[in-house]
Structure 1
Amino acid sequence: MAPPGNHHRYPELKSPLRRQVHAPSPVRKFGFSAFTRQNRNAVGQVSGNALLNGNCNSLERNTLDLRLQCRMDREVIDVDDDEEEVDYVEVISDDDEVENVVAMEEESEKEVSLDGFSVENGSLMVVDDDDDPQADKKSLNRPVTDVCSFEAYRKALKSAENRTSKLKARGFGDFLRERGRGLLRSLRSFFIPEQEPVEDGRSEPFEPLSKEELTAVKDAFSANVHNILVSHENSNIDITVEKLRCLKPGQWLNDEVINLYLVLLKEREAREPKKFIKCHFFNTFFFTKLVNSGTGYNYNAVRRWTSMKKLGYHLIDCDKIFIPIHMNIHWTLAVINIKERKFQYLDSYKGREPRILDALARYFADEVKDKNQVDVDVSQWRQEFVQDLPEQSNGFDCGMFMLKYMDFYSRGLDLCFTEEHMAYFRVRTAKEILQLRAE
Structure 2
Amino acid sequence: MDAREDPSSLPQSQIVPVSTFVDLTQYMLFKESEGSEDQGWPCKEDLTKADLESVMYKGCYLWGDVINIYINERFLKKPREQLHNMFYVNTFWFTKASELVARYDKTNHAEEAIIKITRLRKSICPKIRDEDIQRSLSAWIFVPIHGNNHWSLAIIQIHNDVAMLAHLDSFQGIHDQEAIFHVLRTILCLTMPIDPALVQTRIMNVEQQQDGHSCGKHVLQMLAGGAKKESEGLDRYFREEGLKYIATLD
Aligning the two structures, in what range does the TM-score lie when normalised by the shorter sequence? 0.5 to 0.7
SS in structure 1 at match of 2:165: strand
Aligned to 1:361: 185
Distance apart, 1:367 and its partner CA? 2.4
**In 2, Cα distance between the equivalents of 1:254 and 1:417?**
23
**Deviation for aligned residue 1:292:** 2.1
> Does the aligned pair in 1 maintain the 2:101–2:186 contact within 8 Å?
no
Q: Is the 8 A contact 2:100 2:117 kept in 1?
A: no
Choose which of 150, 153, 159 in structure 2 pairs with 1:333: 153
Report the equivalent of 2:2.
226
2:48 is equivalent to residue 240 of structure 1: yes
1:94: which partner in 2?
A: none
How many aligned residue pairs are there? 180
Q: How far is 1:396 from its partner?
A: 0.8
Larger RCO of the pair (alpha carbons < 8 Å, separation 6+): 2
Question: Which whole-Å CA distance do the structure 2 matches of 1:294 and 1:272 have between them?
Answer: 31
Q: 1 CA distance for matches of 2:80 and 2:184? A: 28
The answer to whether the 8 A contact 1:266-1:279 is kept is no
Counterpart CA distance in 1 for 2:119 and 2:226 is 26
1:363-378 alignment runs, 5 A limit: 363-368=187-192, 375-378=193-196
Contact 1:289/1:301 (8 A) holds in 2: no
**Aligned residue among 203, 212, 232 for 1:395:** 212
Distance across 2 between alignment mates of 1:294 and 1:341: 18
Q: Hey, what's the Cα distance between the residues in 2 that align with 1:262 and 1:407?
A: 10
8 Å contact 1:323–1:334 — kept in the other structure? yes
Out of 295, 298, 319, which is 2:139 matched to? 319
Q: Which residue of 1 aligns with 2:171?
A: 349
Matched, 1:415 2:240: no
For residues 360 and 311 of structure 1, the distance between their equivalents in structure 2, rounded to whole angstroms, comes to: 15
For the pair shown, the structure with the greater C-alpha radius of gyration is: 1
**Pairing 1:125-140 to 2, within 5 Å after superposition:** none
Match of 1:290 among 97, 110, 129: 97
Deviation of the 1:341 alpha carbon: 3.2
Counterpart in the other structure of 2:69: 260
SS in 1 for 2:95: helix
Q: After TM superposition, give the deviation of residue 266 of structure 1 in Å.
A: 2.4
CA-to-aligned-CA distance 1:227-254 (integer Å, 9 cap, x gap): 87xxxx7434142233222112211111
C-alpha distance in 1 between matches for 2:72 and 2:59: 24
**CA offset digits 1:293-348 (Å, max 9, x no partner):** 9954455445334548x955116455211111112111111111114731101110
Q: 3-state DSSP class of the match of 2:171?
A: coil
Residue 299 and residue 360 in structure 1: after superposition, are their counterparts in 2 closer, same or farther (change >3 A)?
Answer: farther
The verdict on how the C-alpha distance between 1:226 and 1:302 changes in structure 2, with shifts beyond 3 A counting, is farther
Alignment CA distance shift 1:236-1:284 (3 Å): closer
Q: How much has 1:414 moved relative to structure 2? A: 2.7
Q: Secondary structure at the match of 2:153?
A: strand
Instruction: Return the alpha-carbon distance in structure 2 between the equivalents of residues 246 and 385 of structure 1.
Output: 28
Equivalence map 1:108-127=2 (5 Å)? none
Does residue 199 of structure 2 align to residue 381 of structure 1?
yes
Distance 1:251 1:408, change over 3 A: same
Are the counterparts in 2 of residues 334 and 345 from structure 1 also a CA contact under 8 Å?
A: yes
The yes-or-no answer on 1:250 pairing with 2:37 is: no
Q: Closer, same or farther in 2 for the Cα pair 1:360/1:243, shift >3 Å?
A: same
CA distances 1:147-186 after superposition (whole Å, capped 9, x unpaired): xxxxxxxxxxxxxxxxxxxxxxxxxxxxxxxxxxxxxxxx
Counterpart residue number, 2:17: none
- Map 1:9-88 onto structure 2 (within 5 A): none
User: Taking structure 1 as reference, are residues 325 and 302 closer, same or farther at Cα in structure 2, changes over 3 Å only?
Assistant: same
Gaps of 5+ in 1: 1-224, 369-374, 419-439
For the structure 1 residues 271 and 277, does the alpha-carbon distance in structure 2 shift closer, same or farther, using more than 3 Å as the test? closer
Deviations 1:369-407 (A, max 9, x none): xxxxxx3113122110001x2221111110111122122
Q: Which runs of 4+ in 1 moved over 6 A?
A: none
Which amino acid in 2 is paired with 1:247?
V
Aligned residue number for residue 118 of structure 2:
303
- Cα distance in 2, alignment partners of residues 384 and 311 from structure 1: 23
TM-score (norm: length of structure 1): 0.36
Give unmatched runs, 5+ long, in structure 2: 5-33, 36-41, 105-112, 230-244
CA distance in 2, matches of 1:385, 1:354: 10
Judge conservation of contact 2:154–2:165 (CA < 8 Å) in 1: yes
Query: Does the CA contact (< 8 Å) of 1:306 and 1:314 recur in 2?
Result: no
Distance 1:410 1:269, change over 3 A: farther
SS in 2 for 1:345: strand
